Amino acid sequence: MSETTCFHCGDVCEEIIQIEEKSFCCFGCKTVYELFAENDLSCYYDLQNSPGAIPKEIQGKYDFLTQQNIIDKLLEFNDDGKQIVTLYIPHIHCSSCIWILENLHKLNAEITASQVNFGKKTVRVTYNSTNFSLKEAVLLLSKIGYEPYISLEDYSTGKTNINRTLIYKLGIAGFAFGNVMFLSFPEYFQVSGFWIEQYKVVFRWLMFAFSLPVVFYAAQDYFISAYKGLRAKLLNIDVPIALGILVLFLRSSVEIIFDLGSGFFDSLTGLVFFLLLGKFFQQKTYTFLSFERDYKSYFPIAVTKILKGKETPIQVYDIKKGDRLLIRNEELIPVDGILMNGNAAIDYSFVTGESETVQKQSGDNLFAGGKQTSGIIEIEAIKSVEQSYLTQLWSNDVFEKNKEEGFTTLTNAISKHFTITVLSIAIIATTFWLFFDASKAMNVFTAVLIIACPCAIALAAPFTFGNLLRIFGKLKFYVKNASVLEQLASINTIIFDKTGTITSNKKSTANYEGEQLTTEELVLLKSTLRGSNHPLSRTLYNILDAQNIVTLDHFEEHVGKGMTARYDNNNIKVGAATFVGHQEDKKVLNTTVHISANNSYKGKYTFYNKYRKGVSKLFNNLKKNFDLAILSGDNEGERENLKKLLPAKTKLIFNQKPNDKLEYIHYHQKEGAKVLMVGDGLNDAGALAQSNVGIALSENVNVFSPACDAILDASKFNQLDAFINASQAAIKIIKWSFVLSFIYNSIGLYFAITGQLAPVIAAILMPLSSISIVVFTTLCTTVLGKKLNR
Amino acid sequence: MSVIYVLLTISIVVAILFFVAFIMAVKNGQFDDSYTPSVRMLFEDELVKEEPKK
């Protein structure tokens, strides 16, 4: 059977809707297509095949956008009938998306301009606010399948300023470096002569002028960091760098003031330029990913409050104890509350990692972070947002802690010895010259400090890790920063979450036990399941082989129990054991769905987690070098299954609450373990923050993952060991670069100690060492990346 | 006055002009998004094609 895919969204069509020889999976997709075709925008489909998304049902969801205080927080600009708003749209993924979103003005004339930032997945819309509103803009976007994501985070952060200082500094250093280089050439090439004697003063003072912004602006971070390091009694890598820059500048200034020589301004500006280049290279950011997410990015910005029978949207922070709130289908419960009305089926997977929905009766307690999955409910708030169970997890100290502090990087570890060695060499050499030829002593002292400036050492790590970050990024492993890679290389314990991490979120398998069902019964079962929106029904419906679908004569769903259906005098009951009239087996912890037909019990479907591809192989690869453990929020139903799958010494721990996971990791860290935590949900957020390296696994990196150090695409999960090995290899590369740079330093020191360091030697040696380190590390990491690709 | 001063002045003025242009470009956010413009550039053709239809 050939499958027809939707022209708009690319999904497989179950029922085909055809117009103009194009097929669509649903009326939503068809409507979007018609809308685009009417407005001469069908080019959308030429740029990329089926680029669209099915527009979702959004009735009433954006009513809160009529509230002035919320609008004010979201708008970037609001004046004179013109408003500008930047909206985050997760669906942006291809060039068609850019094209259609930048042609919004053709769909509605009130929109004057729209600009997409592909990296950040945002669109900045400018519109006429006299005839148009923010709500209408959001509705228009939702209507064409580009639903913006507006969360509590947008409310609290406000407008963030982009930090561009590094680009400015790099620009200034590069500008000065180039000019100083040219200005110093005359003296290098014409050492004596009437011409140079006449003009060298001009050249020198121009170079001095160019170096001023470099020393006092571009290099200021190194001085600040060195000062902070010294105050904390740490000799970090910035101490010798700052010392080198300072000595270079002072000696050069003294030389030109007293007409002793041309100074080292070219080396000075070159040094700062290369160092900043390293910083810039290391600063690979994935603008569309966020590693700092807390509950705020998951929570809605507003919720519907019921006051005297009237529905009004209110801001989530304004919820007070005792407020009546309306939660629609698929909405998140923002506060702890009591269920007052309606059928609650809450998906707590964010909070506990438990994959199944929980049925609640009127009067039961509901916790914040749960997602309502069946219809509309009414709750009464019993706490405010900040005091809710889930949000309290974020008050734990681990979220305040900066992981980079307290971790000594390889570079800083080396720099401690390096600084002491260089200072002693400088002092010994100076003392020697004081007795031998005192006029040269100061010269030698400064020369040693200049030539020993650890530019190459400081560049080795940024370029190695920076390049590796990019390689990993291409392989869908997104690492927050270079320091994380270094920590990843040092771990010895790996802890996995179960649900959603080693199991797949969407797929599960089911086994049937009991009397064989007849074809007729199977048809009836599948048709019955089709009518239900319960997650288990949906799963089972998808597992069952394609059968004919019949229109049922009778169908009734009993919430929390199951459903009954009738067709052609055949009755069927699907649901919990007691509902279909069967004795429940208390020992079985797995999820089951029981079936009875024509009042006789037939059998049950037992659901099992489906593990990700390659889990077993991955664990076997890892077990040689790491301690492995699984921490699950689920019950022990899968223990036997896991035991079969995983190496024998893997620890399996079940029924772990978010805080238990955090404590477990904390305990092992105290025992000296360096822990890598791999998790996926908000329930792992504490553990991810506590661990040395927290990796969040994500089926779709555009959707949200909790605060972490790295995000790994689920499809690459089985390559985790390769990533760890690569980061360990990177450490080796850095160590080799250190050896290389020590060789350069020794050559330079020979010139310095013997008192023959001419500016031209420094000007050749310093860039040469920096560039060769950059080339060496880049080549090595590229080779490493090639190996990973295989 | 020697011609070298004139040349130096000109070269530095030109260099500073370019530098100011760079700073302005950064300030205007031209370096914030380095990907989208590369895609947007390719759409010019599609937009032109549509004009006669209207």
The interface predicted TM-score of the complex, written ipTM, equals: 0.84
- Say if residues A778 and A730 touch (Cβ distance below 8 Å): no
Of A46, A119, A179, the CB nearest to B33: A119
**Which of A:143-202 have CB within 8 Å of B?**
162, 164, 167-168, 171-172, 175, 178-179, 199, 202
- Say if residues A478 and A458 touch (Cβ distance below 8 Å): no
Of B4, B43, B49, the CB nearest to A99: B43
Query: What is the C-alpha separation between A14 and A6, in angstroms, rounded?
Result: 10
Q: Backbone phi, then psi, for A14, in 5-degree steps?
A: -90, -45
pLDDT at A216: 93
Identify the helix (H) or strand (E) that includes residue A347. strand A344-347
Taking the CA of residue B43 and the nearest CA in chain A, the distance in Å comes to: 7
Taking the CA of residue B51 and the nearest CA in chain A, the distance in Å comes to: 10
Query: What is the C-alpha separation between A487 and A477, in angstroms, rounded?
Result: 15
**Contact partners, residue A610, CB within 8 Å, separation at least 6:** A503, A504, A507, A508, A509
Taking the CA of residue B35 and the nearest CA in chain A, the distance in Å comes to: 7
Residue B26 to residue A175, Cβ atoms within 8 A: no
- Say if residues A257 and A437 touch (Cβ distance below 8 Å): no
- Say if residues A327 and A373 touch (Cβ distance below 8 Å): no
Residue B35 to residue A118, Cβ atoms within 8 A: yes
Taking the CA of residue A118 and the nearest CA in chain B, the distance in Å comes to: 5
pLDDT at A601: 83
Residue A40 to residue B26, Cβ atoms within 8 A: no
> Which residue is it, tokens 């190459």?
A456
The alpha carbon of residue A132 and the mean position of all alpha carbons in its chain are separated, in whole angstroms, by 35
Tokens of A324: 């009546």
Q: How confident is the model at residue B48 (pLDDT cuts 50, 70, 90)?
A: very low
Q: Using a CB–CB cutoff of 8 Å, tell me whether A742 touches chain B.
A: no
Residues in chain A, pLDDT under 70: 1-3, 14, 57-60, 153-162, 190-192, 284-298, 349-356, 389-408, 505-508, 533-535, 545-548, 559-560, 584-590, 681-682, 700-705, 790
- What SS3 state is found at A202? helix
Residue B33 to residue A206, Cβ atoms within 8 A: no
Judging contacts by C-beta atoms under 8 Å, the chain A residues touching residue B39 are 95, 98, 118
pLDDT at B53: 38
Taking the CA of residue B53 and the nearest CA in chain A, the distance in Å comes to: 8
Judging contacts by C-beta atoms under 8 Å, the chain A residues touching residue B32 are 117, 162, 164
Of A40, A119, A167, the CB nearest to B50: A40
> Which residue is it, tokens 């009414």?
A378
| Dihedral sign from CA coordinates of A59, A60, A61, A62 | positive
Identify the helix (H) or strand (E) that includes residue A495. strand A493-497
Residue A179 to residue B12, Cβ atoms within 8 A: yes
Of A46, A118, A171, the CB nearest to B39: A118
Distances (CA, A) of A136 to A65, A67, A117, A328, A655: 9, 13, 21, 21, 46
Query: What is the C-alpha separation between A704 and A692, in angstroms, rounded?
Result: 21
The amino acid present at A177, given as its one-letter code, is F
The more confident residue out of A403 and B37 is: B37
Of B4, B46, B54, the CB nearest to A99: B46
- Kind of pairing, strands A302-307 and A111-117? unpaired
Tokens of A575: 């649901």
Nearest CA in chain A to B4: A199
Nearest CA in chain A to B21: A171
**Interface residue of B32, B44, B47 to substitute, partner A, most A CBs within 10 Å:** B32
> Which residue is it, tokens 């205080």?
A69
Query: What is the C-alpha separation between A685 and A497, in angstroms, rounded?
Result: 11
Taking the CA of residue B39 and the nearest CA in chain A, the distance in Å comes to: 7
**Interface residue of B46, B48, B49, B53 to substitute, partner A, most A CBs within 10 Å:** B46
Q: Backbone phi, then psi, for A426, in 5-degree steps?
A: -60, -45
Q: Using a CB–CB cutoff of 8 Å, tell me whether A546 touches chain B.
A: no
The count of CB pairs under 8 A between chains A and B is 61
Q: Backbone phi, then psi, for A189, in 5-degree steps?
A: -90, -25
**pLDDT at residue B54 greater than cutoff 60:** no
- Give chain B's contact residues with A (Cβ, < 8 Å): 2, 4-5, 8, 12, 15, 19, 22-23, 26-27, 29, 31-36, 39-40, 42-43, 46, 49-50, 53-54
Tokens of A402: 């900066």
- Residue A346, Cβ density class (10 Å: 0-12 exposed, 13-18 middle, ≥19 buried): buried
Taking the CA of residue A119 and the nearest CA in chain B, the distance in Å comes to: 7
Strand partners, A695: A678, A710
Which long-range contacts (C-beta less than 8 Å, at least 24 apart) are formed by A73-78? A73/A154, A73/A155, A73/A158, A74/A134, A74/A150, A74/A154, A74/A155, A75/A134, A76/A124, A76/A159, A78/A129
Global confidence as pTM: 0.76
Nearest CA in chain A to B49: A43
Judging contacts by C-beta atoms under 8 Å, the chain B residues touching residue A179 are 12, 15
Identify the helix (H) or strand (E) that includes residue A123. strand A122-128
